[in-house]
Structure 1
């Protein structure tokens, strides 16, 4: 049974519908979609809103991670060599949290739910919230475990 080695929950501020996660050292960039883009060494996740604080959970497992409970609107799997950490960063370069890794090859699972809470415009909110809502409107989970192959 796989064991959760480490986890961190962060609430980054979203600007221009963007959450950045990295570094992820793709040997060959996977196909992009409307949710995740691969600009360089990492992911650029497209949130459903501007000027708010979703929950982003990073998990490191010692083997294949169990699928988190509940329903998920988006799920994608990736494989990549990884450096010694994975961080959540906003567009201004502010790091909201990171998780330590042993460098090597990993499986990554990206899940999201709550994207339908509001229809976002690209304009920034003139009166953005000063902190996170008590209950996150959007939830992202990134699960990582070593590639045994």
Structure 2
């Protein structure tokens, strides 16, 4: 059975409808990941994750978990959307706005390299109703689970 290694509970400023889970070293920038055409929620790649919110100018709550294997259970219930993807991470990550305002916490990655990601987002319809510049906190919520490939 898989074991939870570490977790952080944080918030981040969403700007331009986006935020990132970014390597602290910033030698590879998740903001440079290619964005798909049309509607999208998350993109993973070298340096972390680029995440798309349902609104701009607000502060979602985000929990990032690091597991030693596939997390148990079905995390799909209670979430508006759940995605499975991968990203390549160095030794430490944190949440970051697109203009480099950092989250308060960092998460150590003991096995750098490619990781599976399960990204779940909730309350998107409520978030979409937020006006630009609302700076509301905690309306949108995210769960990002990472485990090595």
Q: TM-score range by the shorter chain?
A: 0.7 to 0.9
Q: Does 1:48 align with 2:54?
A: yes
Q: Does 1:99 align with 2:107?
A: yes
Q: CA deviation at 1:93?
A: 0.5
Higher strand share: 2
Q: Residue 82 of structure 1 corresponds to which residue in structure 2?
A: 89
- How many residues in Structure 1 have an aligned counterpart in Structure 2? 138
Q: CA deviation at 1:25?
A: 8.8
Gaps of 5+ in 2: none
Gaps of 5+ in 1: none
Moved more, 54-63 or 43-52: 43-52
| Cα-to-partner distance string for 1:18-62 (whole Å, 9 max, x where unaligned) | 111123899xx7883521246863332111122221111110011
**Contact 1:25/1:80 (8 A) holds in 2:** no
| Cα-to-partner distance string for 1:74-126 (whole Å, 9 max, x where unaligned) | 121123432112211012201103211021332111111111104358x842x
Give the TM-score taking structure 1 as reference length. Answer: 0.76
Query: Which structure has the bigger radius of gyration?
Result: 1
Distance 1:14 1:86 in 2: 17
Runs of 4+ in 1 over 6 A off after TM superposition: none
Within 5 Å, give how 1:1-149 maps onto structure 2: 1-23=1-23, 32=36, 33-37=39-43, 41-66=47-72, 67-68=74-75, 70-96=77-103, 97-102=105-110, 103-119=112-128, 124-125=132-133, 128-129=134-135, 132=137, 136-147=138-149
Give the TM-score taking structure 2 as reference length. Answer: 0.76
